Amino acid sequence: MPKGFHLLVAGIKYKEGYSFYANTDSQLLRLAGFLRDFDGVLVTYHGNRFDLPILREHFRGVGIGMPLIRVHYDILDVITKMTGYRMSLSILASEVLNRTSKPWNHGKNLRIWQREPDRLVQHNREDLDITEEIYKLILSGKPLMIRGRSLKLTVRYGSGPHPPAPLLLSRQGDARFCSSHAESIP
């Protein structure tokens, strides 16, 4: 986890619904409860080295442990193992989905959160949608064109079938964030 990084908002997408959780004790407890009760596949992009360690630290800050994640699929980890390099979600979306996203300056997340929290939530929602689209392509078995190479990413969960509705997780934050600035999102 990057030192000094503080969570502003975490988003989840399950089936067709979205939920967003601000960095407040009550919202972090709700998110932890949701993750604890979820028994399917958690899908992230950069979750092993970023999202989950950040959540672990913030859950610790409210006096709870990280809920057990039964099955986790980190798309970036799989790509990195296959190619030897890492790329941002926006670059992957451009290459795989032919989707050009608006440039986003993460250094301005705190200011956006303070002035236009809905804008930051919308950015998080877009990350969740992109992650889901890429995951569905992976599940379909179609090769992905990544940096000019055709790669077939695999998903293995033991002997059972793929769960029909994965839980997707994404987060936005800022290195200068102070938890007293958090606003609750219903």
pLDDT at residue 18 greater than cutoff 80:
yes
- Which pLDDT band holds residue 99 (cuts at 50, 70, 90)? confident
Does residue 177 fall inside a structural domain?
no
- Which pLDDT band holds residue 80 (cuts at 50, 70, 90)? very high
Radius of gyration of the chain (CA): 16
Does residue 162 fall inside a structural domain?
yes
Does residue 159 fall inside a structural domain?
yes
Does residue 140 fall inside a structural domain?
yes
Q: Which pLDDT does position 174 carry in this prediction?
A: 63
Residues ≥6 apart with Cβ < 8 Å to 96: 134, 137, 144, 145, 146
pLDDT at residue 184 greater than cutoff 60:
no
The packing angle between helices 89-97 and 117-140, to 10°, is 50
